[in-house]
Structure 1
Amino acid sequence: MTRLGFRECGVTAFCPGGVRALALSALMTWVAAVGAAAQTSSTLTGLVVDSITRAPLVSAHVHFVDEDRHFVTTDVGRFLILDAHGDSVTLSIDLIGYRTAQWRVAVSDEALVFPMVREAVDVGGIEVEAEAAQRRAELSTPVSTTRMSEDEVTRERGQTLGATLRDVEGVAVIQYGPSIAKPVVRGLHSQRIVVSNGGVRQEGQQWGGEHAPEIDVFGVHEIEVVRGPGSVLYGSDALGGVLRVEPAAPPFGSGLGGEYVLNGFSNNRQVAGSAMVEHGRLRFPLLGEVGGRLRASLRKSGDASTPDYNLGNTGFTELNVSTALGWVRPWGGVKVDYSLFTTDIGLFSGAHVGNFDDLIRAMEQGPAETEFTYAIDSPKQDVVHHAVRLAGHGHVQGLGVVRGVYGFQLNKRREFDSHGPLANRERAAFGLDLYTHSLETMLDHDPIGPLRGTVGVSVSRQGNLSRGKGFLIPQYRSYTGALFASEEAAVGRATVSGGLRYEHRWQRVFEFQDVGIDVPDETRSYDGLSGSLGFSVPFLQDWSIGGSLGRAWRAPNVNERFSQGVHHGTAQYEIGDRTLESERTWNTDLTLRRAGDRLDIQVSAYRNAIDNYIYLEPRDPIQTIRGAFPAFNFRQVDATIEGGEASITARPVSHVQISGGVSTVRGSERGSEEPLYDMPADRLRGSVRALLPSSSWAVEPYIEVGVTAVREQTRVPGGTIYALPTDGYQLVHAEVGATSLNLWGRHVDATLEIQNLFDTSFRDYLSRYKLFVDDPGRDIVLRLRIPLGTSH
């Protein structure tokens, strides 16, 4: 048992001026006061760790023997006991795979470390250790998945959700500078990737190439990437896969707690912070004891820079607020939460030019010289996203667990251009208001023979209002309904799974008439079946092989059928095709896995054959009254996307971890074998992490060095300047950090990372500014997380 010196201290942080900064500063002050109030002499804080690796132990049972009270450690191994009476207390701690231990400790304002000794437990001849359940789950999954835990999300957190996923195999990122990063899974993105946020499908004009998910990464608890259309639970559109984002559940039974999270990014001089307060024993009339959480986050960024020049008008500001309440009873539980995401994003001014000559000159000569600034001018985006979720579950005797979730989302997007009379620039070039209601009810039924699974029904209503002085897409309304079932069964040592989903969509587009634009009042319906069949077979020790066959479809989006105008976020002119039909795909996937103490391996290969694949085909630039813009037509072809990814994590000795991964994608038209536009280049990454000895001031300190190598993308469609190949590049990063540091008398989770260590100039093929400028250069990233009070 070790004392960590958990004492009160003042923590100051710079926040930019303005009402938003003032609001966040006030909240942080309140959280600090709350956290300080919780640190009284009758409070005992502990950290439960592995006695050898010093890794925090999750879900350990802590028994306060003197008062017969029980606690469970959090995802970072911590617990806190309020109102511990007496000068000393007796604690008993147990966890499967570890020897039960008992301590008599003095109550003080210092945190204590409780090391647990690992031991094997024999249950019917099966060795059960702490990680056994998770390994079995990984080995029995037929589809290719990657899960990022809370600690991994905290350590890898970038400026956006997409940037946080940048090192996951099979995931690439469409970039508009550092402010917009759109995930690409196996070559597919936007409406072909379903983002599930807290069990509700994220709806926010995701069809736009620069419309990134409106999710506060500070509020993300864990992320799971499901590659390919292997799941029928998330909707018919998931041709490329699912990003399952989970916020932390409201606390139950614990006392007052919270956290500060502070991030700094040197390249664009960004300061980012988040403050959270929570309590697991709030009391409400009629409801009794309730768990609640409140979080506010702020980001303020200026212009990004390449190794050679400033990227004008690429700053952004982001302010987010979220709150959640939940309660659990013997019959089930209910949770309600609300989130507000707001951002103002500057768009690189050099991509918006006045005529063809300026366009060619901008591509050949590079950007005009600009000075760094935090100011955001047109062209820009203003985005506001409201989300309300109400979820509940109940146990029904003899039937199973009934779950339901209702979601309401309002997405308000405004895009401003930089051309035209100054007096008119304050009015949005176009605005979109998207209203979405969704309701899903599921039954996780009791076993029926060998079958375990879920059946359910899903309905949604969506309405889009178009505003502003220009036109991009018309107003529309749509209704969607679906029935689905997903089952799995153990057959010997193998696991077999299957699912089926029927979905019907009704869509009405409202008439719009203007000069050169003719959108009729039109109603169309789409329907289809999605399905999957998979297996997973374990072999040898810690190995399994799994495969899946998936069928999916996607109705054409309104923008693909009716776009006609300048999309200022992407600085391109888009032309729709109202004759487009639904995409339909057959996907095959094979995955080999190993999950062991010293070696984890995952190797996947896939083939996605898509009929009626819809994509933007580059064409000659178009001159408009607002300037000259690259132009694209929506086109439909039969296509094949195939490739693979592999990842490995090896721990040859206790203090060294070696990680690596590779991803490759090949997309082409069937018949002509013409390469598809927007396929990611081949990518290879590798890193070595040295784990240093823990001490009284640092738990699990480490040093890491890694490299990412991206191959030149030569598989590009011919006949257009927009598809010019980009050179390959290599980037080196270095990082130091620790699971927990004792700084300023508090526990602090800290990392310091240098991305693009040698300040290399490069242009990624998926960068939307690659025709004009390099990608941003070296970035020094500091991440601090300061737990407060009970929960952490």
Structure 2
Amino acid sequence: MKLHPVALACLGMAASPTPVLAADTLPALSVTAKGYAADDMETPAATFALSRDDLQQRAAGNVGDALRGEPGLAVSGDSAQGQNPVIRGLKKESVVLLVDGIRVNAAQPAGAIASFMSLPLAESVEAVRGPASVLYGSGALGGAINVRLPDAHFAPGVGFDTALAWNSASRGLRATGVMNEAGADQALMLGASLSRIGDYDAPDGRVARTGYDSDSFIGQYRFRVDAANELRVSLQQHTDEDVWYPGSTKPHPHPLVQSTTVHSPRQERVLAEVGYRRKGSGETPVNVDLRAYRQEVKREIFSYADGPLARDIAETRVAFVTDGIDARADWLAHPLHLVSFGANAWRTSASPERLLPAPATNPANPLGRSDPFTNGRIEALGLYVQDDMRFGKLGVLGGLRHDTVEGEADSVGSPPVTQNLARRDGMWSGSLAAIYEVAPLLRPYANLSRGARAGEMRERFESSPRGDGFFYVGNPQIEPETATQIELGLKGATTRFDYRMAVYRTRIDDYITGLDISGTAEAVAICGPANATACKRTVNLGQVTLEGLEAEGRWQLVDGHWLSAGLSMVRGTNEDLDEPLFQMPADELDLGWEGRVAPEWTLDTTLRLVRRQDRVATVFARGSEDPTAGFATVDVGATWRRGKHSVRVAMRNLADKAYHEHLTEGVSGQEIPAPGRSLDVVYSGKF
């Protein structure tokens, strides 16, 4: 008897699709979409996954760069290191970022938290496009991105997985290694990745301040108590040094300063986790996974005077400390009926230490303490249940979640304000989706989902300059925003052809954003005279809508030769002002070919066509968002594989095209350009 995919998932086995995509290709599986390994063709949602081979082929140093060009995904960047993924037009706080299923919690005044996720060591990157709050709680309005690092595995003996990468644009070198040693009931994994990245070359010359150093270390020990019970301990550390954010450069009125640029001498993420897993047995097994963790994200955000003063005129040091507990269980109530339920609780606290010139009227004065807030904390508790059912060829997935999120600080600003700083919100999230297999190549699905997001620490408590060149003022009483999405899609796969497409409409109520009030009397009052010309106030808009289309497919034209295409279009509307929503990704079409030209050699090429983006906010942005020219880039590559070893040589941006993405942050008209032509060489091997 063939078990249904939900039964296989509960038993820790992968469900095989009908049929597999190709003779040497495994089914596309995702853990992030349902919380357990599930076949994409059985999932009524838009999912995406990159394997370790995919990541090494792209030679990406961070998550944003790895996802560039994928349908429904875009990148917002303020530097070479600061590349944040964008899902369906929603970015930063509206996308939940996870490493091995654990949230990466920290404010993002500059740079990208996604760049702290140890990508060079990753086994895979998975994404869910669209609200994913049922499993991941507050913040997953746009979706969730999960970087899955290697697990210690019980393969007897010692094994090594290594990779070396170099590129000519930045003369950057990256070395990665993972070791696994195991016996019958114990396994140990240790991994490290060291990167030394220089300033990269654009078509018009070298782009200053785009280099940085990055190191990652991971380790995990697993112990099988018996066939059903297992204990584990995991450690992760990621460090970046000497990171500059050229996109933050903005003019300054003082002649000694002239302009300022944000930089980070050092930033670090450290995670320690202990966990317990029980594998169920019998006709109605229950799988259990428990984990407790502490994660610290330490950041230094300094503002440097580029003029004759030539020193930092603002220094902020902060550690975001998160303690959390996750508990989840999967119960196979029936071979065609899998129920998941769980609880997530976490607490993040921070007390930034900020130094500013005292008095502030002269930036050459010595720096003195002026902390933005004291003892800020956000606590969250979420409870959820999800039901995965099968009725013949019809699959139904439903879920419900309740979150309680509370934010509070002892004081805000200088002179300190101590009143009206606490807010507690209860939020409901839910989803109901179905997929029906008419035929292997025709699987229509529908998905109705609701997500919610409470304000994060920066939006609540902090008043400070940000990476886009504006001074933002926090709002402790900011209300949660909610997103309701309807998505209709089609999926299908055979041995020679597979595709996915979706159309969606998302309505977000009480949308949280920064409203540009520069040059007004209110700006002088709340941002101060020095920042009044570039001032944003954190507000709730009444309503915004997002509508979009995504499509992707692969076709094996002849044996060993695949054609691929991907299309992404999104339209955002600020309903309050009846104008385009601020900073929406441009339309994009990607075309590719990959073919085996010899037993050990494959060649590939990708053409990326990005349309001019002239749907920009005018009233809301007050002239700070300009249209961006369209562009086209071509990448070509060759890969040699023999056994467990491979070498890839690729030329990115073959025509040395000068361009920048529309979502590149910076003073309008002065955004940093993308890298120019670059020769990439990557070696990977297993021993």
CA contact (8 A) 1:497 1:535 kept: yes
SS at match of 2:53: helix
Structure 2 counterpart of 1:677, one-letter code: F
For 1:156, give the aligned amino acid.
R
Mapping of 1:272-351 within 5 angstroms? 272-281=174-183, 289-328=185-224, 329-348=226-245, 351=248
Match of 1:498 in 2: 398
- Matched residue SS, 2:355: coil
1:535 aligns with 2:434: yes
Question: Do 2:21 and 2:493's aligned partners in 1 also have CA atoms closer than 8 Å?
Answer: no
Range 413-422 or range 341-350, more displaced: 413-422
> What secondary structure sits across from 2:580 in the alignment?
coil
Q: 1:212 aligns with which of 103, 110, 114?
A: 114
Match of 2:657 in 1: 760
Which amino acid in the other structure matches residue 766 of structure 1? Answer: L
Q: Are residues 1:171 and 2:67 paired?
A: no
Question: TM-score, normalised to structure 2's length?
Answer: 0.86
Give the aligned residue type for 1:589: E
2:456 pairs with 1:549: no
Residue matched to 2:347: 461
Residue 545 of structure 1: how far off its partner (Å): 0.9
Q: In the aligned structure 1, how far is the partner of 2:533 from the partner of 2:218?
A: 38
Out of 407, 414, 419, the position equivalent to 2:293 is 407
The letter of the residue matching 1:618 is D
- Aligned partner of 2:555: which letter? A
Q: 1:203 to 1:762 in 2, by over 3 A?
A: same
After TM superposition, the structure 1 stretch with the greater mean CA deviation from structure 2, 540-549 or 198-207, is: 198-207
Query: Using the alignment, how far apart are the partners of 1:671 and 1:513 within structure 2?
Result: 30
Alpha-carbon displacement from aligned partner over 1:312-335 (angstroms, at most 9, x marks no partner)? 222111111111111333023222
2:96 aligns to what?
Answer: 194
Please give the residue correspondences for 1:575-586 in structure 2 after superposition, counting only pairs within 5 Å.
575-586=473-484
Which of 394, 405, 408 is residue 508 of structure 1 equivalent to? 408
The answer to whether structure 1 residue 673 and structure 2 residue 569 are counterparts is no
Tell me the secondary structure at the aligned position of residue 268 of structure 1.
coil
- One-letter code aligned to 1:496: V
Partners of 1:449 and 1:277 in 2: how far apart?
A: 38
- Contact 2:71-2:550 within 8 A present in 1 as well: yes
The whole-number CA distance in structure 1 between the counterparts of 2:266 and 2:80 is 16
Per-residue CA distance 1:396-426 (angstroms, 9 max, x = gap): 5555111112221011101112139999957
What SS class does the counterpart of residue 665 from structure 1 fall into?
A: strand
Partners of 2:421 and 2:477 within 8 A in 1: no
**Distance in 2, Cα, partners of 1:162 & 1:461:** 27
Paired residues of 1:705 and 1:732 also in contact (CA < 8 A) = yes
Match of 1:656 in 2: 561
Give the C-alpha shift of residue 256 in structure 1: 0.9
* Aligned-partner Cα distance in 2 for 1:391–1:650: 42
Report the CA distance between 1:691 and its aligned residue.
1.2
Matches of 1:404 and 1:686 in 2, distance apart? 43
Please name the residue that 1:525 is paired with: 424
Conserved 8 A contact 1:352-1:627? no
Cα distance 1:297–1:555, how it changes in 2: closer, same or farther (>3 A)? same
- 2:496 corresponds to 1:614: no
The alpha-carbon distance between structure 1 residues 358 and 759, as it changes in their structure 2 partners (threshold 3 A), is farther
Provide closer, same or farther for how the CA distance between residues 714 and 193 of structure 1 changes in structure 2, counting only shifts above 3 A: same
Distance of 2:590 and 2:229 partners within structure 1: 44
Q: 1:636 Cα deviation (Å)?
A: 2.0
Instruction: Find the residue that maps to 1:238 and give its secondary structure.
Output: coil
| Aligned counterparts of 1:127 and 1:603: Cα–Cα separation in 2 | 17
Cα distance between partner residues in 1 of 2:306 and 2:631: 39
Question: How far apart are the structure 1 equivalents of 2:561 and 2:51?
Answer: 20
Matches within 5 A, 1:88-167: 137-167=39-69
Whether 1:593 and 2:491 are equivalent positions in the alignment is: yes
Matched, 1:390 2:274: yes
Match of 2:602 among 702, 722, 727: 702
**Rounded Cα–Cα distance in structure 1 between residues aligned with 2:187 and 2:660:** 47
Deviation at 1:250, TM superposition (A): 0.7
Deviation at 1:166, TM superposition (A): 1.2
Distance change in 2, residues 1:289/1:131 (3 Å): same
Q: 1:331 to 1:212 in 2, by over 3 A?
A: closer
- 2: CA distance, partners of 1:596 / 1:426: 59
**AA in 1 matched with 2:536:** F
Opposite residue 620 of structure 1, the aligned amino acid is: S
Give yes or no for contact 2:481–2:509 (8 Å, CA) kept in 1: yes
Of stretches 762-771 and 220-229 in structure 1, the one that deviates more from structure 2 is: 762-771
CA displacement, residues 478-504 of structure 1 (integer Å, 9 cap, x when unaligned): 221111101111123100110000111
- State the secondary structure of the residue aligned to 1:550: strand
Q: Does 1:438 align with 2:346?
A: no
What is the TM-score with the length of structure 1 in the denominator?
0.75
Change (3 A) 1:624 1:415: farther
Q: Which runs of 5+ in 2 are unaligned?
A: 1-13, 30-37, 357-370
What is the CA distance between 1:133 and its match in structure 2?
6.3
Q: Distance in 2 between matches of 1:589 and 1:358?
A: 54
Post-superposition offset of 1:212: 3.2
Looking at structure 2, the residues matched to 753 and 183 of structure 1 have their Cα atoms a distance apart, in angstroms, of 23
Name the CA distance, whole Å, in 1 between partners of 2:44 and 2:151.
27
C-alpha deviations, 1:225-256, integer Å up to 9, x for none? 11111461111321000112211221203211
1:351-410 superposed Cα distances (whole Å, 9 cap, x missing partner): 535535999x99xxxx9xxxxxxxxx9733521110112222113555511111222101
> Closer, same or farther in 2 for the Cα pair 1:585/1:353, shift >3 Å?
closer
Q: Which has the larger radius of gyration?
A: 1
Rounded Cα–Cα distance in structure 2 between residues aligned with 1:780 and 1:449: 52
* 8 Å Cα contact 1:202/1:213 also seen in 2: no
Aligned-partner Cα distance in 1 for 2:24–2:647? 26
**Matching residue's letter, 2:590:** R
After superposing the two structures, state which structure 1 stretch, 169-178 or 552-561, moved more: 552-561
Give the letter for the 2:94 counterpart.
Answer: R
**Distance 1:652-1:322 versus aligned 2 partners, 3 A rule:** same
Q: Distance in 1 between matches of 2:483 and 2:248?
A: 35
The aligned counterpart of 2:32 is none
Query: 2:139, 2:245 → 1: CA distance?
Result: 31
1:48 is aligned to none
**Equivalent in the alignment of 1:102:** none
Structure 1 CA distance for aligned equivalents of residues 146 and 516 of structure 2: 32
The secondary structure found in structure 1 opposite 2:579 is coil
Query: How far does residue 213 in structure 1 lie from its aligned partner after superposition?
Result: 4.0
**Following the alignment from structure 1 to structure 2, what is the Cα–Cα distance between the partners of residues 134 and 312?**
41
CA distance, structure 1, for counterparts of residue 237 and residue 442 of structure 2: 43
Structure 1 residue 602 corresponds to structure 2 residue 488: no
Distance 1:133 1:127, change over 3 A: closer
How far off its partner does 1:447 sit? 1.8
| Farther off after superposition, 241-250 or 772-781 | 772-781
Whether the 8 Å CA contact 2:592–2:604 is kept in 1: the answer is: yes
**Take 1:227 and 1:302, find their aligned partners in 2: how far apart are those partners?**
33
Distance 1:741 1:415 in 2: 46
1:139 to partner: Cα distance: 2.1
**Could you say what secondary structure the match of 2:136 adopts?**
coil
1:554, CA displacement in angstroms?
1.0
- Once the 2 structures are TM-superposed, how far is the Cα of residue 624 of structure 1 from its aligned partner? 7.9
Residue 762 of structure 1 aligns to a residue whose secondary structure is coil
Distance 1:130 1:446, change over 3 A: farther
Partners of 1:206 and 1:353 in 2: CA distance: 18
- What is residue 338 of structure 2 aligned with on the other side? 452
Q: What are the Cα deviations for residues 432-457 of structure 1, in whole angstroms up to 9, with x where unaligned? A: 21110111111211224742121112
Equivalent residues in 2 for 1:239-258 (5 A)? 239-258=141-160
RMSD: 3.2
User: In structure 2, how many angstroms separate the alpha carbons of the residues matched to 1:308 and 1:609?
Assistant: 41
Measured in 2, the distance between the counterparts of 1:455 and 1:660 equals 37
